[in-house]
């Protein structure tokens, strides 16, 4: 009692010395005093229930209260008398009485529980913080008191209550504002105490178990949440000498927990007198728990002997040191399985998963809270890199899905926060755990496969995961191809082979699609291809010496990894050759410049050391060969290892892990000799020479064989091993501890000299882990990728094929609409990426796969197909997806158009497509016409198809077909559609509307050239008729439909007509020339061709001739076809000419037009339209050109000669011919304006030739049987001949005109008059008269010009000869009186003109061949009296001369 009073007085004195002011946020002093008073009352009330606490009898028989009661009452008396602010009061004053109760072993569980509650309440009032007086000692006192709590156990229930109260108080200590006052050792003590309660709770109630685990979890979270605030100081390390050597040697040592000698469950070696009186060891039940407690697993200083410096760190305010110990303790819990001899892979339900799962959960929480801060603390990072990950590799193969799931969660967190420090660990985890468990061939159960697949998919959902796997592993020559293995696993796992679709299949699909969607999101953010990084293989380059300047800069590391990937691909090929034949393999490597032309030992050694996939048996045989070069390679191979600070057995494990030790003794000796030499060079602190290393290496190999060979019955003991190695160290013995350590290491972990075949890490053995940790020091840094598409092209090329196949198979087997939607998300992602990288083959494969799912392609009856299509959600989704891809990424579809077109054709056959699928957009502003009405007509033509004369087709379209269903005869059972069928039809129609199929063709002008040509080719191929000629109705419809679409895309791509024209023309030509009867197909071909020409002529002058030449196909139509369509053809040609006459300039084009018009002259129905078109061209000479003049004249002549229709048309045609001479006059005048004389001459010559053709044309019409036409033709000929004056016809042309035209015409008319009857040629006499008059008039009008001709005499004699013949002609059997009268009169007039012009004169000395003499010889036969009438003065002389 006196002690308590003295302590209180001291506390009061301390309070009086304090002058600190109360800060904001503290509770009211009186309120706090009342709360504490209430807690005192509660404790006293519980104590008074037991009479022993009421009165205590001392030895002197004086009554007095127990000191615990006295201290509480003393506190009650003082609490309201304190005047200072509460935070200036020493907390020990009001906490000590409660702590005394807690520590007393006389109190029962109820009293201890109430006292613990009081302490908990005070701690949670936030009255104690870092500013509180004596806070450090107070917090230490609280922790010490609670962790050394003693009480009498009266019943199990009260005991559990006390344990829960202890957990509450300890958690409150760590969470309170004053927690920073705790030292590292107290934090460890708190965690130890909580962990002991966790294990003790195993025999208690479930509530206590849950609260204990929750408290432990919260403690870890609270402690490690401060890691990010810790500085990287010397306190971070408890033992800074920890190295890889220690980590490797840990394989030889017992677990650290085994060296923590703690009795009776005391969890703190420094506070040996503080323990839970209830005892822990006796309360454990399970084998695992017993092992934990028997081994005294507790937080200590890593099992090492403590030193003053370490003790000082543990007494400092808590930080990284305690976190290191706690984390190490948590990792050590995972070694429990190892100590009890339980293999988690071979144990199923019998293995208690509780302890490792609990430990993994705590570790995961620590990593979640610590995050990237672990990187700043080397010791923590080392624990994660080595101990934690090695345990994870073991527990990852656990049969428990819970353990596996937690392991994967930990690795996912580590990947996010610390992947740059865990490159090889991540590779090993995926190779040895995930990729192993996810495949049933390795014996994993279905739950294991599912858990592993879920974890893998979680990784795939990380946007940069696969990029980093590819860059860090697939592009590293020393690592396995993790990316490719993951991709192959996902694609294979998605295939439901002979099984229904399971969750694993869907998970694998999710993973693939997540990867694809990640790539799709990165589109446009990086380089398109890695092909920019060219690798020069013209000369040898040491591939293992490739360096990267900056792994943080994509400009540096992207070319680096691309080069390494290129090297790796070639090395894999080289390794394959090497594995088949070593010599040929090396030759191949030299040929590909992977090895120098002259082999050197170092390059070969590096190839054997660093190339993944080599056969380790072959490596061992090669290295052990006695050949001098092989021996040099062996020593260079050994020099690639760094054995610094390694024990001999560890170094030997590492060395033998890289190849298989050959079986021949001499080879073994050479190999071990090279190893011993290298090891002795780097580790001389124990061994005297390299011979000692060699002998000990042999001894280790023998021990390994002896101990791990099942055929050896009597095993070598430790003593045997030590005796076998006496005096090998330069004549001295090696330290016994050294040999003993090696012995136990070999016995515990076998050196496997027969590696498993294949790549990667099929099983993580201790030796392989040592090799991995060694390799970690030399591996290139982990490349962290950003969200750009730096390597996506290369990855997509690898992944696209398997992904498309996997998605297709899953979709084919999917019955869930959600799964189908996932598949389509994948399809769209693949399509988007393929289009971006211009991978046409991938996109074509995707389209082909999708088209296979459209059930409407099945050969079902039309009505059943529509219903099936409407009811099949999968088919409708596939259809919509196909056409969405076609509309969005059509630029990069090539052969896929064939598949898309197959779907379109099937839809067309079912009548599901719109009536007008591919509407040609007509820009009326581009069509220049002068008449608004004409413009309207042209536009309406372009938007409408010509009517067909063939048999009307059945109605098409969804509604019409549906109407047929409604109105079928009642005798058919299915004539009335059901409600389900109605819904199916509606769904089918809505799907087609969403597809926007017409946009493929109307928007084809935006397609790239290659894709457009492929689309056109697909339409052409689909529209080709069967070669056997047996055309069924559906084939005919298909061909017509394809032709319509082909014409539509041709019209919509007028700017690129050059790409399409040859194929389109050839297709139409084949149709036209192979059709012998009218049909819709040839109709579409003919009028489609006309429509193309009509639309494109105004815009494409460069191919105008080709377009117009194509119309010559119409001339090749079979007679039956031509007769059926020529009226419509003529109308279309007429519209074409009227709209585009100004754009037709070449003779070839006009030849085609006039040829088509000429044919119409013989067709009654089309003649009117044809002649109207010709009149449009020739009227007023507006569109008559030198290039089309002769053609138009010939066409007009044919209309003039045509007997189809009325005579007036022929007369008008002759008028057009006659009027055309004015154009010749105009052109002649224009020609004279040409600057060059040579050009003028050529042009005039051409004009003369055209005039002569006109004359010939009229001459032919002058022989027509119809009198009106014949006579009008003569008058027109007269105009033509007399109009030649302004044309300046050359002399030779006049001669041709008379010889070939005029004289021929006169002779022909004369012959007709004599040979044909009046019935055949009505009034032929009148025609002869008219012809003579015209001949005379022309002669008179042109006599001056003609007289200048050298051959005028010949010409004149020809005229006289014809007059003489006409005098003699007999019409209807007698001579014509009119001709008898007319000929002399016309001759007289002519002679008078010749006389007056001085042309006809008597010449002296004539030999009888002069013009004068020849003239009168002919005149005498016509009218002898004309000479005297014309030349009366010469009549006498002429008569005498004759005599």
Q: What is the rounded distance in angstroms from the CA atom of residue 681 to the CA atom of residue 814?
A: 64
The answer to whether 171 and 219 have CB atoms below 8 angstroms apart is yes
Q: Which two three-digit tokens encode residue 1316?
A: 């044909």
Q: Give the integer Cα–Cα distance in Å for 538 and 1261.
A: 83
Alpha helices by DSSP H, listed for 1118-1236, are: 1119-1140, 1147-1160, 1164-1178, 1189-1201, 1207-1219, 1221-1231
Q: How far apart are CA 502 and CA 504, in angstroms?
A: 5
Alpha carbon 643 to its chain centroid, in Å, reads 47
Query: DSSP characters for 880-907?
Result: HHHHHHHHHHGGG-STHHHHHHHHHHHH
Distance CA 708, CA 1238 (A): 112
**φ, ψ (nearest 5 deg) of residue 183:** -95, 170
DSSP state of 430: I
Residue with tokens 């996912």: 412
Which residues make Cβ contacts (< 8 Å) with residue 604, sequence separation at least 6?
586, 595, 633, 636
Residue 816 in tokens: 């869930």
> Nearest to residue 1208, comparing CAs of 1121, 1286, 1276, 1269?
1269
Q: Which residues contact 1024 (CB under 8 A, 6 or more apart)?
A: 1039, 1067, 1070
Is residue 820 within 8 Å of residue 455, measured between CB atoms?
Answer: no
Contact 1334, 1276 (CB under 8 A): no
CA 837/CA 793 separation, integer angstroms: 7
Could you tell me which residues come within 8 angstroms of residue 449 by beta carbon, excluding any fewer than 6 positions away? Answer: 437, 438, 439, 440, 504
What's the CA gap between 858 and 854, in Å, rounded? 8
Q: How many whole angstroms separate alpha carbon 683 and alpha carbon 647?
A: 8
Do residues 216 and 191 touch, judged by C-beta distance below 8 A?
A: yes
CB atoms within 10 A of CB 1422: 20
How many Cα atoms within 13 Å fall on the side-chain side of residue 1042? Answer: 29
**152 has catalytic annotation:** no
How far the first Cα of the chain sits from its last, in Å, is 198
How many CB atoms sit inside 10 A of residue 1366's CB?
24
Q: How many whole angstroms separate alpha carbon 454 and alpha carbon 406? A: 12
3-state SS class at 865: helix
Query: 1415 with 1408: CB under 8 angstroms?
Result: no
Q: What is the dihedral of CA 161, 167, 171, 174, to 10 degrees?
A: 130
Dihedral sign (CA 174, 179, 180, 183): negative
Please spell the DSSP secondary structure of 342-369, one letter per residue: --TTT--SSS--HHHHHHHHHHHHHHHH
Which residues face 108 on adjacent strands? 152
Which listed residue (664, 1101, 1345, 1364) is catalytic?
Answer: 664
For the record, the structure tokens of 747 come out as: 């016995």
Q: Determine the Cα–Cα distance for residues 831 and 1423; give it in Å rounded to an integer.
A: 100
Instruction: Express the helix, strand and coil content of the chain in percent, nearest 5 each.
Output: 70, 0, 30
As a dihedral over the C-alpha atoms of residue 787, residue 793, residue 795, residue 798, rounded to 10 degrees, the angle is 160
User: Which residues lie across from 56 on neighbouring strands?
Assistant: 64
Residues 464, 791 contacting (CB under 8 angstroms): no
The residues annotated as belonging to the active site are: 664
């Amino acid at each position: 009692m006196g002690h308590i009073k003295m302590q209180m007085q001291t506390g009061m004195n301390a309070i009086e010395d304090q002058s600190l002011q109360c800060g904001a946020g503290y509770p009211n002093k009186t309120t706090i005093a009342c709360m504490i008073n209430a807690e005192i009352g509660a404790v006293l009330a519980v104590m008074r229930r037991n009479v022993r606490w009421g009165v205590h009898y001392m030895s002197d028989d004086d009554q007095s209260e127990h000191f615990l009661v006295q201290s509480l009452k003393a506190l009650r008396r003082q609490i309201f008398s304190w005047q200072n602010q509460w935070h200036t009061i020493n907390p020990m004053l009001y906490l000590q009485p409660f702590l005394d109760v807690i520590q007393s072993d006389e109190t029962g569980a109820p009293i201890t529980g109430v006292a613990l509650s009081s302490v908990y309440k005070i701690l949670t009032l936030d009255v104690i913080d870092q500013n509180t007086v004596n806070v450090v000692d107070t917090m230490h006192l609280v922790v010490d008191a609670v962790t050394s709590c003693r009480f009498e156990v009266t019943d199990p229930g009260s005991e559990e209550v006390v344990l829960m109260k202890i957990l509450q108080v300890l958690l409150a200590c760590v969470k309170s504002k004053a927690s920073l006052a705790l030292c590292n050792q107290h934090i460890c003590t708190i965690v130890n105490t909580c962990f002991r309660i966790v294990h003790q709770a195993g025999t208690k109630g479930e509530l206590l178990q849950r609260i204990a685990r929750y408290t432990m979890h919260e403690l870890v979270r609270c402690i490690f949440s401060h890691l990010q605030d810790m500085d990287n100081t010397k306190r971070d390390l408890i033992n800074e000498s920890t190295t890889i050597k220690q980590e490797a040697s840990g394989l030889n040592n017992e677990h650290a927990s085994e060296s923590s000698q703690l009795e009776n469950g005391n969890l703190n070696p420094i506070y040996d007198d503080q323990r839970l009186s209830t005892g822990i060891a006796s309360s454990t039940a399970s084998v695992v728990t017993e092992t934990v407690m028997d081994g005294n697993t507790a937080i200590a200083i890593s099992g090492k002997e403590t030193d003053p410096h370490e003790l000082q760190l543990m007494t400092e305010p808590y930080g990284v040191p305690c976190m290191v110990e706690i984390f190490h303790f948590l990792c050590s819990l995972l070694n429990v399985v190892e100590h009890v001899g339980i293999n988690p892979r071979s144990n199923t339900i019998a293995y208690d998963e509780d302890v490792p799962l609990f430990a993994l959960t705590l570790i995961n929480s620590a990593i979640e809270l610590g995050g990237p801060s672990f990187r700043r603390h080397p010791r923590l990072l080392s624990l994660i890199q080595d101990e934690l990950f090695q345990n994870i590799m073991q527990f990852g193969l656990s049969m428990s899905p819970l353990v596996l799931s937690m392991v994967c969660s930990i690795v996912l967190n580590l990947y996010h926060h610390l992947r740059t420090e865990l490159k090889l660990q991540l590779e090993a985890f995926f190779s040895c755990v995930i990729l192993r468990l996810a495949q049933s061939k390795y014996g994993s159960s279905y739950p294991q496969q599912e858990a592993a697949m879920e974890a893998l998919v979680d990784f795939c959902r990380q946007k940069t995961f696969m990029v980093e796997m590819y860059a860090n592993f697939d592009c590293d020559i020393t690592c396995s191809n993790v990316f490719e293995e993951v991709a192959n696993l996902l694609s294979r796992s998605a295939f439901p082979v002979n099984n229904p679709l399971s969750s694993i299949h869907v998970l694998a699909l999710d993973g693939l699609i997540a990867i694809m969607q990640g790539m799709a999101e990165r589109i446009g953010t990086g380089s398109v291809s890695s092909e920019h990084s060219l690798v020069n293989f013209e000369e040898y380059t040491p591939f293992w010496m490739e360096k990267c300047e900056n792994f943080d800069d994509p400009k540096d590391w992207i070319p680096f990894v691309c080069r390494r990937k290129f090297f790796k691909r070639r090395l894999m090929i080289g390794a394959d050759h090497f594995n088949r034949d070593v010599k040929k393999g090396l030759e191949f490597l030299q040929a590909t410049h992977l090895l120098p032309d002259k082999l050197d030992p170092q390059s070969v050694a590096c190839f054997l050391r660093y190339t993944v996939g080599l056969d380790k048996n072959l490596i061992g045989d090669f290295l052990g060969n006695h050949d001098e070069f092989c021996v040099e390679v062996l020593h260079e191979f050994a020099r690639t290892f760094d054995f610094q600070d390694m024990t001999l057995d560890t170094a030997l494990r590492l060395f033998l892990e890289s190849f298989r030790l050959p079986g021949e003794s001499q080879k073994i000796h050479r190999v071990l000799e090279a190893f011993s030499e290298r090891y002795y060079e780097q580790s001389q602190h124990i061994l005297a020479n390299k011979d000692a290393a060699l002998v000990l290496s042999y001894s280790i190999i023998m021990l390994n064989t002896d101990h791990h060979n099942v055929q050896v019955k009597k095993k070598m003991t430790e003593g045997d091993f030590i005796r076998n190695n006496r005096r090998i160290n330069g004549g001295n013995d090696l330290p016994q501890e050294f040999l003993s350590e090696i012995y136990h290491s070999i016995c515990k972990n076998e050196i496997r000299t027969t590696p498993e075949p294949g790549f990667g890490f099929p099983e993580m053995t201790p030796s392989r882990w040592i090799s991995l940790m060694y390799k970690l020091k030399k591996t290139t840094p982990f490349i962290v990728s950003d969200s750009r598409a730096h390597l996506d092209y290369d990855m997509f090329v690898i992944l696209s094929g398997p992904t498309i196949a996997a998605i297709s198979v899953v979709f084919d087997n999917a019955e869930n609409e959600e799964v189908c939607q996932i598949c389509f998300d994948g399809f769209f992602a693949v399509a988007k990426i393929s289009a971006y990288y211009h991978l046409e083959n991938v996109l074509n494969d995707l389209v082909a796969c999708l088209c296979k799912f459209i059930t409407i392609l099945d050969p079902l009856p039309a009505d059943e197909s529509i219903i099936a299509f409407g009811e099949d959600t999968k088919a409708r989704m596939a259809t919509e997806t196909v056409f969405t891809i076609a509309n969005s990424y059509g630029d990069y579809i090539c052969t896929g158009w064939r598949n898309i077109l197959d779907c379109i054709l099937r839809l067309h056959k079912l009548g599901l497509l719109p009536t007008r699928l591919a509407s040609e957009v007509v820009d009326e502003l581009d069509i220049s016409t002068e008449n608004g009405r004409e413009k309207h007509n042209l536009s309406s033509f372009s938007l409408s198809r010509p009517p067909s004369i063939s048999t009307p087709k059945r109605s098409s379209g969804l509604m019409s077909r549906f109407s047929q269903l409604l109105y079928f005869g009642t005798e058919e059972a299915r004539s009335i559609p059901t409600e389900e069928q109605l819904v199916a039809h509606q769904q089918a129609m809505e799907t087609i509307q969403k597809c926007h199929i017409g946009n493929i063709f109307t928007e084809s002008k935006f397609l790239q050239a290659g894709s457009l040509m492929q689309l056109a080719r697909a339409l052409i191929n689909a529209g080709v008729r069967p070669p056997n000629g047996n055309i069924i109705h559906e084939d005919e419809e298909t061909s017509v439909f394809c032709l319509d679409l082909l014409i539509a895309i041709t019209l919509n791509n007028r700017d690129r007509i050059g790409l399409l024209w040859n194929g389109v023309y050839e297709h139409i030509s084949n149709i036209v020339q192979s059709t012998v009867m009218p049909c819709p197909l040839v109709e579409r071909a003919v009028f489609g061709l006309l429509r193309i020409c009509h639309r494109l002529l105004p815009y494409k002058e460069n191919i105008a001739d080709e377009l117009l030449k194509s119309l010559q196909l119409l001339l090749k139509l079979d007679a039956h076809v031509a007769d059926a369509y020529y009226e419509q053809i003529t109308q279309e040609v007429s519209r074409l000419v009227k709209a585009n006459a100004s754009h037709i300039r070449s003779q070839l084009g006009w030849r085609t037009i006039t040829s088509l018009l000429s044919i119409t002259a013989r067709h009654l129905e089309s003649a009117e339209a044809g002649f109207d078109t010709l009149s449009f061209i020739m009227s007023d000479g507006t569109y008559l050109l030198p290039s089309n003049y002769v053609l138009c004249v010939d066409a007009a002549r044919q209309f003039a000669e045509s007997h189809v229709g009325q005579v007036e048309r022929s007369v008008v045609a002759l008028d057009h011919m006659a009027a055309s001479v004015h154009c010749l006059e105009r052109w002649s005048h224009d020609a004279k304006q040409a600057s060059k004389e040579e050009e003028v001459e050529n042009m005039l010559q051409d004009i003369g030739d055209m005039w002569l053709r006109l004359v010939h044309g009229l001459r032919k019409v002058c022989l027509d049987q119809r009198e009106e036409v014949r006579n009008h033709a003569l008058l027109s000929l007269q105009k033509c001949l007399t109009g030649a004056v302004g044309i300046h016809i050359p002399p030779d042309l006049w001669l041709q005109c008379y010889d070939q035209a005029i004289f021929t015409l006169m002779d022909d008319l004369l012959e007709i008059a004599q040979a044909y009857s009046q019935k055949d040629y009505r009034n032929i006499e009148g025609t002869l008269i008219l012809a003579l008059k015209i001949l005379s008039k022309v002669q008179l009008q042109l006599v001056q010009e003609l007289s200048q001709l050298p051959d005028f005499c010949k010409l004149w004699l020809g005229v006289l000869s014809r007059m003489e013949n006409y005098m003699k002609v007999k019409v209807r059997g007698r001579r014509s009186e009119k001709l008898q009268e007319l000929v002399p009169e016309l001759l007289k007039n002519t002679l008078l003109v010749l006389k007056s012009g001085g042309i006809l004169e008597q010449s002296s000395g004539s030999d009888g061949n002069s013009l004068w003499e020849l003239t009168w010889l002919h005149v005498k036969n016509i009218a002898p009296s004309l000479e005297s009438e014309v030349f009366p003065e010469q009549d006498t002389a002429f008569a005498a001369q004759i005599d």
